[in-house]
């Protein structure tokens, strides 16, 4: 009894030291860099941590560029039997694409990830059928979505990074009500990685990045619009915005002046790029990725039976420009372009 009383001040000191250690661990080591993103006084500041950024840049190194191919000679459509997308390429360019996509998507597995190695023309592996659609999707992104990807463009590597299944994908999650539970009507209150471990609705993607529901919180009239803009819409909007910030590794003020989130005049040019990005993601999910559910084996589908789909993080992976803005497409411009 006496012994423990005598120890009490020391224990208190140790506790205090532990608490301080806990607090400091929650902070980030300097140096922090801040940059103004808006007019002076608007507080539109981006804060970056040099060490964290360094680590992200390390994780975003590009693979080596394949040696250039001879663009003359026989067309692939003539040289091979079952070529439906890349027939306009020369034989050399065609094989350069095959080597590159192997490195970008299945470096450990090799050609056999997509091919029956006894007969390369055979379409019996689902991965080859999916890859053919992915080639068309990549052409579509680079040629029809310059409003978002500019001339920087994308390759398979932008999403895959050497993995057959990209690290950031999403599936429909309608919440437990749809699965017969009265609690959790919106599928929320469970911290989820896709929305930065917040307890907002876990799936803002089905309605905003596959469906085209309005992303709107603020009323545009003095009269209440509660019928049209219920609190649930606000929660889902914030869930999507949280994903966008986390996916790009930026604060809300990268795009918004937070005194009025809805106001376009006070927003940054990046918000306009993001607006196109939302439309692009909808288009890719609706026309390319979701329809592939008929092609995938059951173990690739989500709990609701839907196909794996893309969001902002699929390409961006924590940076405001994927691969830190590296213009990787230019080294494969001829091969990944549509026939002229």
Residues 41-100, interacting with ligand HEC (CB under 6 A):
80-86, 98-99
Give the shortest CB-189-to-ligand HEC separation in angstroms.
Answer: 18
The tokens describing 284, both together, are 């890719």
Which parts of 153-192 interact with ligand HEC (CB under 6 A)? 154, 156, 158-160, 164-166, 169
Nearer to ligand HEC, 49 or 176 (CB): 49
Member of 45, 71, 111, 178 binding ligand HEC (CB under 6 A): 111
301 binds ligand HEC (CB under 6 A): no
Angle, alpha carbons 239-240-241 (nearest 5°): 90
Closest separation in Å from C-beta 294 to ligand HEC: 13
Among 46, 275, 286, 334, binds ligand HEC (CB under 6 A): 275
Distance from C-alpha of 194 to C-alpha of 309, rounded to nearest angstrom: 13
Give me the least distance between CB of 68 and ligand HEC, in Å please.
17
Q: Which is nearer to ligand HEC, 77 or 176 (CB)?
A: 77
Closer residue to ligand HEC (CB): 176 or 286: 286
249 belongs to the binding site for ligand HEC (CB under 6 A): no
Tokens of 77: 């459509």
Q: Does residue 205 belong to the site contacting ligand HEC (CB under 6 A)?
A: no
CB of 57 to ligand HEC, least distance (A): 15
In this chain, which stretch among 2-10, 44-52, 180-188, 249-257 interacts with ligand HEC, using CB under 6 A? Answer: 249-257
d(CA 121, CA 110): 16
- CA distances (Å), 234 to each of 16, 58, 153, 217, 293, in order? 41, 36, 33, 5, 31
| Shortest distance (Å) from residue 41 CB to ligand HEC | 20
Among 5-13, 43-51, 182-190, 247-255, the segment contacting ligand HEC (CB under 6 A): 247-255
Dihedral, CA of residue 109, residue 114, residue 120 and residue 123, to nearest 10 = 160
Nearest to 64 by CA among 40, 99, 31, 108: 99
Residue with smaller CB distance to ligand HEC, 129 or 185: 129
CB of 329 to ligand HEC, least distance (A): 8
Instruction: Report the residue from 75, 128, 176, 293 that binds ligand HEC according to the rule CB under 6 A.
Output: 128
Name which position in 200, 308, 328, 335 contacts ligand HEC (CB under 6 A).
Answer: 308
Q: Which residue has the tokens 């007969």?
A: 119
Give CA 114 to chain center in angstroms.
24
Token readout for 31 is 């140096």
Distances (CA, A) of 212 to 51, 150, 271, 285, 286: 38, 23, 18, 11, 10
Q: Which of 67, 23, 42 is nearest to 258 (CA)?
A: 42
Contact 102, 111 (CB under 8 A): yes
Q: How many residues contact ligand HEC, by CB under 6 A?
A: 80
Our finding on whether 252 is near ligand HEC (CB under 6 A) is: yes
Site for ligand HEC in 221-240 (CB under 6 A): 237-238
The answer to whether 37 and 253 have CB atoms below 8 angstroms apart is yes
**Which residues are CB-neighbours of 96 under 8 A, at least 6 positions away?**
66, 67, 68, 69, 332, 335
Tokens 């509660």 belong to: 226
Nearer Cβ to ligand HEC, position 12 or 43? 43
Nearer to ligand HEC, 176 or 321 (CB): 321
């Amino acid at each position: 009894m006496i012994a423990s009383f005598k120890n009490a001040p020391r224990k208190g000191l140790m506790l205090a030291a532990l608490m301080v250690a806990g607090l400091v661990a929650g902070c980030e080591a300097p140096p922090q860099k801040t940059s103004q993103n808006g007019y002076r006084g608007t507080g539109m500041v981006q804060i970056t941590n040099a060490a964290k950024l360094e680590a992200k840049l390390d994780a975003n190194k590009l693979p080596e560029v394949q040696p250039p191919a001879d663009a003359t000679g026989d067309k692939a459509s003539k040289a091979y039997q079952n070529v439906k997308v890349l027939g306009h390429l020369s034989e050399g360019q065609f094989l350069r694409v095959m080597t590159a996509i192997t490195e970008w998507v299945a470096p450990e597995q090799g050609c056999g990830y997509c091919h029956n190695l006894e007969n390369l023309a055979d379409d019996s592996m689902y991965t080859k059928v999916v890859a053919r659609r992915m080639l068309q999707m990549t052409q579509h992104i680079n040629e029809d979505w310059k409003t978002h990807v500019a001339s920087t463009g994308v390759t398979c590597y932008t999403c895959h990074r050497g993995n057959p299944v990209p690290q950031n994908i999403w599936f429909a999650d309608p919440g437990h009500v749809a699965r017969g539970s009265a609690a959790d009507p919106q599928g929320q209150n469970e911290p989820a990685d896709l929305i930065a471990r917040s307890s907002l609705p876990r799936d803002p993607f089905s309605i905003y990045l596959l469906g085209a529901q309005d992303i709107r919180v603020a009323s545009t009239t003095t009269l209440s619009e509660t019928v049209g803009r219920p609190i649930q819409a606000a929660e889902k909007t914030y869930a999507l915005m949280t994903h966008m910030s986390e996916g790009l590794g930026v604060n809300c003020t990268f795009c918004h002046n937070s005194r009025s989130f809805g106001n376009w005049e006070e927003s940054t040019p990046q918000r306009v790029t993001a607006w196109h990005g939302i439309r692009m993601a909808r288009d890719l999910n609706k026309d390319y990725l979701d329809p592939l559910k008929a092609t995938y084996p059951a173990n690739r589908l989500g709990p609701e039976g839907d196909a794996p789909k893309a969001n902002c993080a699929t390409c961006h992976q924590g940076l405001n420009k994927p691969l830190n803005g590296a213009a990787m497409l230019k080294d494969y411009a001829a091969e990944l372009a549509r026939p002229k």
